[in-house]
Amino acid sequence: MKPKISLQARTEYQAVADGLAGAGVVEGSMFGMPCLKIEKKMLAGLYGDAMTFKLPPEPREQALALSGAEHFDPGMGRPMKEWVVIPLEHAETWPGYAEQALEYVRP
C-alpha cells in the first residue's frame, strides 16, 4: 500500500518539478508514485511525505546522513542501492538533490 501524501509534500514536490521543467524534466508516474523523468529516465519521485532521488555515491552518502533518510525500497523488500528517500523535514534540500539526480541520469 502506498503511503499517503500531505498537501505540504505535494507543494514542495511541485516546486522541485517546476524548477526543473526548463531543463526538460517532465512529470510522470512509476511504482505508482508521482515522479520526475528526463527522456524516460526517472531521477526523482514523491513517496508519501518524502522524495526519492537517484544519486551518485558522494551526494548519496551526504543524503543518507540526514535524519530519517534511507535507501529507497518501493515495497519489494529490497532497497535500491542508488536511490535515497529524504523526508519532508528536509524539503529545503530537495531542489539541490534533484539537480544532482538530473546530472547523474541525464543521457
Class of domain 7-105: alpha beta
Q: Which tens digit of pLDDT belongs to each residue from 63-79?
A: 999 999 999 987 778 88
pTM of the entire structure?
0.93
Tell me how far apart the alpha carbons of residues 74 and 77 are, in angstroms, rounded to a whole number. Answer: 8
Q: Which tens digit of pLDDT belongs to each residue from 4-21?
A: 999 999 999 999 999 999
Q: Which tens digit of pLDDT belongs to each residue from 33-74?
A: 899 999 999 999 999 999 999 999 999 999 999 999 999 987
Domain boundaries, the chain: 7-105
